[in-house]
Amino acid sequence: LSEKNPVRRRFLKNPILSDKDFAAAWQSLEYKGKPFENDFPELRTDKGERVRSKSEMLIANKLAALGIPYRYEFPHQMRDRHGFKITVYPDFTILNRTNRSEIILEHFGRLEDPEYIAASLSKLDLYSRNGYFPGKNFLFTMETNRNPFDIRLFEKQIRISGLF
């Protein structure tokens, strides 16, 4: 009997969701992202989500076009280097439907700014301390004024990661 059979469903306390249903439920969770400052520019994805940069807009649109479930600036509880709980808002949290795990994706977009670089290195350290490692459950993209974000390279990166 399949999980969809009404006789069997009565005996299943937590029916097993299909990957599609699991992804839909995962993506439909309501949450409060990081707030925007009043004078921050209005950049919107094809789905109408507000993002902080044109590159993040490209990333969100590509993920949506490929059918990859994601959350923008979803809050995560982590521990800092002193063991204190803090809330962080990664640019994207992506669902790997194959194993139903979450992958954090950060876009580092101002790498010519020394203060931004220092903050980015601290963020990388924080993620590592909390079990997020590049190539495993952490992806990143980056750009500078001289080397702009390349959406084709991003698509190759997510293809290699097995997200679709």
Output the tens digit of pLDDT for each of the chain's 164 residues. Answer: 455 665 555 555 556 889 999 999 999 999 999 999 999 999 999 999 999 999 999 999 999 999 999 999 999 999 999 999 999 999 999 999 889 999 999 999 999 999 999 999 999 999 999 999 998 999 999 999 999 999 999 999 999 888 87
DSSP-derived secondary structure letter, 109: -
Going by their DSSP bridges, the two strands 70-72 and 85-88 should be labelled as unpaired
Which pair of structure tokens corresponds to residue 34? 């990081």
Given this model, what pLDDT does residue 98 score?
86
Residue 161 confidence (pLDDT)? 87
| Residue 103: per-residue pLDDT | 97
Listed in sequence order, the residues at least 6 apart from 28 whose beta carbon sits closer than 8 Å to its beta carbon are none
Cβ contact 51:43 at 8 Å: yes
pTM recorded for the entire structure: 0.88
**The residue to which tokens 């009997």 are assigned:** 1
Given the structure tokens 């439920």, which residue do they identify? Answer: 25
CA distance 45 to 98: 26
